[in-house]
Chain A
């Protein structure tokens, strides 16, 4: 039973480039959450998506960041024109249904480094 799959594990980009982070939820999970974690800090909520819908993007910067979860394929977190401050670990989590009583299953994360 595959867990939450994120790729790439590590991504290096130069300032101004685009970064695309992918997340395939666990089988049977239709709810996806993205978090950002700076070194030695906590998890900061970014966005919550269901298939083809963005439910809550209150934690995502208004500019340069976007997320999608299409009907087919993985969820994508896209960062345009990256800056040094975007360097962080980005974690995706999934759950079978949305409920705050449901545990979230996390992927291994994508470590994004901006040169």
Chain B
């Protein structure tokens, strides 16, 4: 079945360094969503990308959707301790007669002050 894979699984950075997480799908995606989960918290929707090659920015976060719509990335510039958490990508997969949202395993970001 379709898979959504994320790398790396963990990332430790010093505060102020940049961070990137990558998401890859085995099939073309109609859209990709990104979520953030703080330690002890729940996933919170960040953004959705729909168009091939789309780039969206939210302050220090830059989200990109690949030209082939099979991969995506999230880049954080100059990380802060508030960026700590797990970042999940999610994409649709046709399964059981409908499009189900499949979550990647997440990238856990630790930021050292």
Contacts and interface: CB of A to CB of B under 8 A. Distances in A.
A72 interface: no
B50 A101 contact: yes
B101 interface: yes
B104 A42 contact: yes
Interface on chain A toward B: helix, strand, loop, or mixed SS? loop
Contacts, number: 57
Nearest to A42: B105
B48 A103 contact: yes
A106 B30 contact: no
Interface residues of A, number: 24
A1 B89 CA distance: 26
A63 interface: no
Given A58-B96, A101-B30, 4 more contacts: A56-B98, A100-B100, A101-B92, A105-B45
Interface of A: 33, 35, 40-43, 45, 48, 55-56, 58, 91, 93, 98-101, 103-109
